[in-house]
Structure formats: C-alpha cells, structure tokens
Amino acid sequence: MKDVKNIVAKNITELRLLNNMTQLELAEKLNYSDKTISKWERAESSPDISVLVEIAELFGVSLDYLVKDKNVEEAVKENKQKETKYNRKVISYITESAVWLVVILAFIITSLITKEATFQWLYFVYTVPVVLIIRLVFNSIWFNPRNNYFIISALIWSVLAAIHITFLHFKINVALIYLLGVAGQIVVILCAFIKKPTKK
C-alpha cells in the first residue's frame, strides 16, 4: 500500500489540475502560500485534517477519496451522482409539499367563500392519492422502480378510501368497494414476483 502522504499529494495535484487551478489559486482559496501547496504536492508535508476537509469540500469529493488511492475523476463523478440523487429527493419532496400547500389554500379560500359548505375537508382526502401519483412518477423516473409496488398498493387503498369517505358524506355506505382493493392488491403482489429476463 502506498504511503498516505504520497496518496494525498497525488490526489491534491490531480484535483487541482482537473479544476484548472494553479498552486497559487489553490493557496489563496485555502489561505496558505503556494510554497506550502507545492510541499503538499511533492509529499514533503501533508495538510492537517481540518485543511483536508476544506480541500475535499472545495473540490466536491469526500475526505475518504483524498486519503485513498483511487482515480480522482471517478471520485468526483461518484460525488456528483450522490449530489444529483439528493437533489432529486429534495425536488420530489418540494413538489409533494407544493400540492399540499395548494390544497390548504383551496380549503381556506373555499371555506371563506362558502361558509355553509361542509365538503372542503374532502380536498385533503383526495390529496393523498394525488401525492402518491406524484411519488410514483418520480420514483419511476429517478429512484428504485421496485418501490413502485408499495406506492401502487398505497394508491389503490387511498383511492378506495377517498371514494368510500365521499359516499359516506352523502350518507351512502359503499364498504364493499374495498373488495376491489383486495383484488388489486393480489395483482400487485403477483406483479412483484415477475422477474426481468437476464441478458446473456
């Protein structure tokens, strides 16, 4: 195994060059002299742990990558992929939150306009399936499609519950509608066991 000092020296040099940065530019960003950067890159000395953390943040890699003998380009790529995955999660959560915000606004406005109406709370009942559809779309595009089975199951039951609650509002009991949910759930479970053909 290579000496850690040499590995750190190699990784700092590669990261600096990959980002088209001179030793002086890196030194200015870290508040060190270019001579110190030169010593680090020649493995004559090594930055302390707090500086290594700063360098890792500056170049968008983890501290682990700085001290291990790995391809720096791959390290940067992996880190960007993690950031992209995190950003996608945030976008999906923001979208779902936006739906709830619109529903709350609709509830408030409708309640103010039609003070005698009592149907406004149904907005929240129907928001659950809408949010689940949004989650299903994002999960299919960006995340693990295998989780779709859980989302579809939740969607089936939430739609049936919404229909049941709506009919109850009009004093009609349609509890038997949940039999459709049982049938749908069986289909979802069976679909979960379907395996994709493996490529030879």
CATH 1.10.287.40: does it fit domain 4-70? no
The whole-number pLDDT of residue 200 equals 47
Amino acid, single-letter form, for residue 63: L
User: What's the pLDDT score for residue 11?
Assistant: 87
Q: Residue 53 belongs to what H/E stretch?
A: helix 49-59
Crossing angle (nearest 10°) for helices 49-59 and 4-18: 30
> CA nearest 73: which of 4, 21, 29, 11?
11
Distance of alpha carbon 133 from alpha carbon 98, whole angstroms? 14
**How confident is the model at residue 127, as a pLDDT?**
94
pLDDT value, residue 78: 66
Q: Name the stretches of the chain with pLDDT < 70.
A: 1-2, 70-80, 117, 195-200
Give residue 1's pLDDT.
42
pTM of full prediction above 0.75: no
Nearest Cα neighbor of 79 from 98, 59, 97 is: 59
| CATH 1.10.260.40 domain range(s) in the chain | 4-70
The answer to whether the Cα torsion of 54, 60, 63, 65 is positive or negative is negative
Q: Which residue has the tokens 């960003």?
A: 29
Q: Quick one: which of 109, 107, 139 has its CA closest to 120?
A: 107
pLDDT for 182: 92
From the list 82, 90, 4, 79, the residue with the least C-alpha distance to 40 is 4
